[in-house]
Amino acid sequence: MGTFLKVFGGISFLVVAVIVGMMLWPHAVPGYTPSDNVLSAAEISKNPYKFKGMSGIMNPGWMHFSHMAGDQIAIYDASFIYSDDQLAVTMDDNDPPSTNRRWRVYVEGADDFTNELGASVRIGEVRFEGYADPPPQPIYTPPPVQPQPEPQPQPAPAPAPDGTQPAAPIERQPPPQD
């Protein structure tokens, strides 16, 4: 009877551990739901393992594009006050995302890359899933108003040399209606 309880207790503990693990780590499951958690590029670049499997919105404002490490991997320099880290950004195309808008990302963890000196370095890696904000709308500025030229006054007709006034212009009248 004691062996049965040990085996049954071990199996039930394993089942409970798997269920709890799936509840606490839902982003590792394919088809995860993106979240609106705010993720810090500085924190991800310092400790990518802490954020692995998380999704959220990241403001890349202090980052700037460094170089392409492959067809679909862009390296950004994450220059912060006390550190000079890098972050790899995986994307669907070969066009590095703009740092002027907030990103929706999924943290992949860390990966090994080769730096400019040929040494292998481990860099935090995120997958770019799109922009979190709609594109900025152009600000409408009406076209400049062109000033209309002032109408020039018509000179008055000069009096005739004999001192009489010139004749008034003849105006055509419509024919009478019957």
Q: Is 2 helix (H, G, I), strand (E, B) or coil?
A: helix
Residue ranges in 1-145 assigned as alpha helix (H): 2-24, 41-46, 48-51
CA torsion angle for 52, 54, 56, 57 (degrees, to 10)?
-10
Residue 94 forms part of a structural domain: yes
The answer to whether the CB of 87 falls within 8 A of the CB of 99 is: no
Over residues 109-139, the pLDDT tens digits come to 999 888 778 888 889 999 999 888 776 677 8
In total, how many domains does the chain have? Answer: 1
pLDDT of residue 47: 87
* Regions of the chain short of the pLDDT cut 50: 4-5, 7-10, 14-18, 20-29
pLDDT of residue 5: 44
Residue 22 forms part of a structural domain: no
pLDDT of residue 163: 62
Residue 12, both tokens:
């039930």
Residue 16 forms part of a structural domain: no
The answer to whether the CB of 26 falls within 8 A of the CB of 32 is: yes
Cα-Cα-Cα-Cα dihedral sign, residues 156, 158, 163, 165: negative
DSSP letter at 46 equals: H
Q: What is the CATH number of the domain that holds 58?
A: 2.40.50
pLDDT of residue 174: 78
Q: Please name every residue paired with 86 in a beta bridge, in sequence order, or none if there are none.
A: 77
* Distance linking the first and last C-alpha atoms of the chain: 127
pLDDT of residue 3: 56
pLDDT of residue 25: 45
pLDDT of residue 128: 92
Residue 138 forms part of a structural domain: no
Over residues 93-112, the pLDDT tens digits come to 888 898 888 999 999 999 98
pLDDT of residue 169: 63
Look up the pTM and report it: 0.56
